[in-house]
Amino acid sequence: MLLTLRTQSARLCSGFSGQPRCLFASSAASAEEANKISPPNQAQLQLEINGGTYATDSWTNVTSKILTHLGLNKHLQRDHPLSIIRQRIVNYFYAAYRNQRGNPLFSVYDKLNPVVTVQQNFDNLLIPSDHVSRQKSDCYYINQQHLLRAHTTAHQVELISGGLDNFLVVGEVYRRDEIDSTHYPVFHQADAVRLVTKDKLFERNPGLELFEETWSGSIANPKRILPSSKFMDQTKQPCHTLEAVKLMEHEMKHVLVGLTKDLFGPRIKYRWVDTYFPFTQPSWELEIYFKDNWLEVLGCGIMRHEILQRAGVHQSIGYAFGLGLERLAMILFDIPDIRLFWSNDTGFLSQFSENDLQNLTKYKPISHYPQCTNDLSFWLPTDVEVNEGFSPNDFYDLVRSVAGDVVEQISLVDKFKHPKTGKSSVCFRIVYRHMERTMTQAEVNDIHKHIADASVEHFNVEIR
């Protein structure tokens, strides 16, 4: 793991409070209130996180438990449902946008450090200084200047400043929240930005402009930063022409509906809902109709031009969106509890495979009771080998008929041929688990013995 924690920081955390999920779409309220519940004054401690050293202060509320999530990278773990969803989204964007040579236009950043500055997470995105989402009760602060990113949008400005114009960011985000079947303080997001210049957007209408003539003074003087608009007009920002905004909106909505249909099937019912984000104007949420409810799947909009200006981009218009991976995965795989995404239980993990990204298997509930693993090794009869006279599938069927549902998984973990006798040996690992109670080792051993006896009888094998 990348992370080390020099000090015992469990006591650093202040009290928890449940918060609404979509912090950035909510309207502003004073952050002062919640900040009153700051922890008692601490002696200064040093936190070492992902190679950086941070001095704690009265803002520090990150806990050692939360810090254990850094570097787990569930979105990159082979065959993990979050990794499967990530690949579906990335592949969709690779296919949707290609350059003249046929290469993908979007680049993907999925290993960025989740430790960000207040500037990255909030200021760069024009999130007002009194916005609720900055509250200590909502974020994991490392200190007054640093926090664990509360959204992947936090990386927008650094990537645009670095010259990128089409990119996706995928990673885990941290928000203080209650824990239940749909809330967990660490979850995963994908964010995207697409910037286009006038020439590209108006390829077929070269007479049109991105920016209003009355506003164009700032193009001649690109250093000028516009003051934030005090109220949000859902039609457009003052600097943009309506044509530019409408074309971008059309392209963005077309692509995002395409993504939604790619994930949920062409018949999915969806609707666009106007909303507010500090970093986009106009802004929308896309909702899908699922199990008799409208469910929000993503937030998006036309990027505030001030953000682009600050990142050194003056001649483009952009769209951006962000979505949560867990929510999509829970729907697509029928996963009933968000905590399962953190499970290392092979009964959970072995159900998913990225070999066929287009065919997602539905999750079958596993028991809460502990697993019990026993290996069974035997010599095959002379001249019999795996798949030549002995089929593992036959063995699996035998196990299931002897032991029934208490067998959760069976796998062939080893095979070898004895150099002298020429006999083949196989080893199977059998994982036992009861749906309603904890099994005792003695009980498991007894079933295991029955399987061994039945194997001898059916396959004429010799138990080792």
Q: Please give the residue ranges that form the binding site for ligand DAH (CB under 6 A).
A: 22, 24-25, 151, 153, 191, 277, 279-280, 299-301, 320-322
* CB-nearer residue toward ligand DAH: 174 or 321: 321
Output the furthest CA–CA distance in the chain (Å, rounded): 91
Residue (284 or 390) nearer to ligand DAH, CB: 284
Nearer to ligand DAH, 22 or 463 (CB): 22
235 three-state secondary structure: coil
Min dist. Cβ of residue 175 to ligand DAH (A): 9
Question: Which pair of structure tokens corresponds to residue 455?
Answer: 């194997």
Residue 326's H or E segment, with its range, is helix 325-333
Nearer to ligand DAH, 201 or 300 (CB): 300
Closer by beta carbon to ligand DAH, 63 or else 153: 153
Q: Min. distance of Cβ 169 from ligand DAH in angstroms?
A: 9
- Residue 83 or 280: the one with the smaller Cβ distance to ligand DAH is 280
428 touches 411 (CB < 8 A): yes
Task: Give the nearest residue (CB) to ligand DAH.
Answer: 322
CB of 19 to ligand DAH, least distance (A): 12
Render 59-76 in DSSP notation, one character per residue.
T----HHHHTTTT--GGG
Q: What is the phi/psi pair of residue 333, to 5°?
A: -105, 0
Closest separation between CB of residue 459 and ligand DAH, Å?
56
What's the closest the beta carbon of residue 166 comes to ligand DAH, in angstroms?
14
First to last CA, the chain: 39
> Between residues 73 and 280, which has the closer beta carbon with respect to ligand DAH?
280
User: What is the full DSSP assignment across 341-353?
Assistant: GG---HHHHTT--
- The type of residue at 318 is G
CA distance 142 to 420: 63
Q: Could you tell me the smallest distance in angstroms from the CB atom of residue 412 to ligand DAH?
A: 44
Residue with Cβ nearer ligand DAH (279 or 459):
279
Min separation Cβ 126 and ligand DAH, Å: 12
Other C-beta atoms within 10 Å of 125: how many?
A: 25
Task: Reply yes or no: is the peptide bond before residue 40 cis, omega within 30 of 0.
Answer: no
Give min distance, CB of 318 to ligand DAH, in A: 9
- Which tokens belong to 33? 């209130």
Least separation in angstroms between residue 48's CB and ligand DAH is 28
Between 57 and 296, CB nearer to ligand DAH: 296
